[in-house]
Structure 1
């Protein structure tokens, strides 16, 4: 099965159950918003889907590849922007992109890398180490890294956090482009108003569980905001 499939996912950290029997699907050629408050289990779910964190129980596949049985194959299919970290402080954005391209065996990647850096307003700092970057600059760099190889499954965890309008617009454009070329996109965020601009459906999590799966139009406007607040109550 293409896309992202999560079946009965459980993740425990000692006595704490961070994700509790979560089942969700995100199809190819669609953008899915994973919504909920901080601590709802959204980021943990994406960490499992990206192959960063092993599940305690359940099954997760990306682009038809089981993340436990073939973690390397799953990682090849995924472009992942983590919610925190992911950047080497003493490396520049260009060095990050060059390393990613080498690890993935990409050829002719430089023009796309330059275009992404320009679009995210990072071209002027492409040769500066990321240690001095603001939080928003780090977020933008992480999205560029995730999108570089045009992955079949694009997982963006809190890509809008601390990002200026230019970065928000560039991220929304990356999501639209990935969706239009048939990729699966999952945008994990607590910012409902931004997610509804670009996603087709929303999965709402609370307390480690999925509490609703709904078409995005149902969450738009004031009525949608009230419905969303009710789901989080």
Structure 2
């Protein structure tokens, strides 16, 4: 028997007025695996992730997440997903601890405080847990966004540009989050333009260019100088 994909995208199109941000993308990802969406800025990675998170509706195509149709069951999809957006998502006047309190309340989590403290320490945010996020650097905000996405241990973890502007502590913490999520059987998607971190975090890579999928390969095929050349050829 074949396992049903945790993410199953067929012929996805997303249009904003006259602009077609995603043009016929197919994507399949499974529980216990991590898949990278790799490509330059403007390739359609973030728009695809927003559709999977239930933030942006598809203009055409079929999109199923955790066995659910994102058109018909968008609220149920959001309950099963943890989403780190590429920008924004934080409340400037709230502290990291208040963000975690709100997330725990909305998701009706019990006994969450210990996990919250552990995650704050993992991401190097323990000392600023009670500082408002308006004073955070870009990298600190990225770390907190990843933390919040993973906090409730979702079935599908969507990390959009989690490494952007992040220091080595944040990179290592994010890699640990991805590894832990895979170990407990979650499906992980990581969108990034950083090839080396994509292949370190993930076992498979889907390359997007101009809103279309141009390749889906094992991460090892993108490694080293030969992988770099292959990647550049896909972007040309």
TM-score over 0.5 (shorter chain)? yes
Which residue is equivalent to 1:86? 89
2:180 is matched with which residue? 177
1:50 aligns with 2:53: yes
Q: 1:225 and 1:2 mapped to 2: Cα distance?
A: 29
Q: Is 1:37 matched with 2:69?
A: no
- Cα deviation, residue 65, structure 1: 1.0
Q: How many residue pairs get matched?
A: 233
Q: Does structure 1 residue 123 correspond to structure 2 residue 122?
A: no
What does residue 99 of structure 1 align with?
A: 102
- TM superposition shift of 1:59: 1.6
The residue number in structure 2 matching 1:26 is: 29
Once the two structures are TM-superposed, the CA of residue 198 in structure 1 deviates from its matched residue by 2.0
Which residue does the alignment assign to 1:193?
A: 196
Once residues 173 and 162 of structure 1 are traced to their aligned partners in structure 2, the CA distance between those partners, rounded to angstroms, is: 18
Whole-angstrom CA distance in 2 between matches of 1:22 and 1:196: 21
**Contact 2:5 2:28 survives alignment (8 Å):** no
Query: TM-score if structure 1 supplies the norm length?
Result: 0.99
TM-score (norm 2): 0.98
Distance 1:2 1:211, change over 3 A: closer
**Secondary structure of residue in 1 paired with 2:169:** helix
Residue 77 of structure 1 is aligned with which of 77, 80, 85?
80
| 1-structure distance, mates of 2:151, 2:131 | 19
Structure 2: runs of 5+ lacking an equivalent: none
**Does 1:205 pair with 2:208?**
yes
Give the Cα–Cα distance (whole angstroms) in 2 for the partners of residues 73 and 32 of structure 1.
22
Q: Gaps (5+ residues) in structure 1?
A: none
Secondary structure, counterpart of 1:105 in structure 2: coil
The alpha carbon displacement at 1:180 in A equals 1.1
Q: Could you give the per-residue CA deviations for residues 186-218 of structure 1, whole angstroms, max 9, x where no partner exists? A: 000000001111211000000000000000010
2:62 pairs with 1:59? yes
Aligned to 2:169: 166
Report the RMSD for the aligned CA atoms in angstroms. 0.6
State whether structure 2 residue 140 is matched by structure 1 residue 137: yes
What is aligned with 1:5?
A: 8
The whole-number CA distance in structure 1 between the counterparts of 2:12 and 2:99 is: 32
